[in-house]
Amino acid sequence: MPNTSSTETAILGGGCFWCIDAAFRELTGVTEVVSGYAGGHVPNPSYEQVCGKQTGHAEVVKLTFDPAVVSYADILRIFFTLHDPTTKDRQGADVGPQYRSIILTLNEEQERTAREVIAELDAQGLWPAPIVTEVVPAGPFWPAEPEHQDYFVRNPWSGYCRVVVAPKVAKFRKSFADRLKTHAA
């Protein structure tokens, strides 16, 4: 089915969705970011259920973006700078299958691009171990509860945001300053 709109969608999980959400909201070409759950078998799960590690879901973000401004391949390259894609079921102190690195593809072209970007990054040797990111067809996406949307902007002084999210966002801003929607004063 051809894409007739001027936007595309990507669904990505790289640890806690608050980190990925915060960075991609600032990327030029991204028009919407929704934190949620995908990759599992429980319909419409709650945060507590996903944290219970029995749903099969990962914490993910669903991005809507303009491919004329930022390509899917560039979205993925940026995604791989926002988390450690070489650790299975963990990001730092966050441990469990809900924190796995995962790309949920919406079509064969996205799957091909994801595998090509992973091969490209592995060949560059940017990480001390091979990338273990899952690349799987997308199933249902379940939006997270309202309190998880745009969490970093609404809770910048929470301990987790100060210790975990803020450094990742700062690294993103420095690495991709020329691609930010607005430049910090």
Q: What are phi and psi of 131, to 5 degrees?
A: -70, 130
Helix segments in the chain, DSSP class H: 17-24, 47-51, 72-79, 108-124, 151-154, 159-160, 166-175
Helix (H, G, I), strand (E, B) or coil at 108: helix
User: How many residues in the chain?
Assistant: 185
* Annotation marks residue 16 as catalytic: yes
Q: Tell me which amino acid residue 139 is.
A: G
Catalytic annotation, pick one of 16, 19, 51, 161: 16
Q: Tell me which amino acid residue 48 is.
A: E
119 exposure class (CB count in 10 Å sphere: 0-12, 13-18, 19+): exposed
Catalytic positions:
16
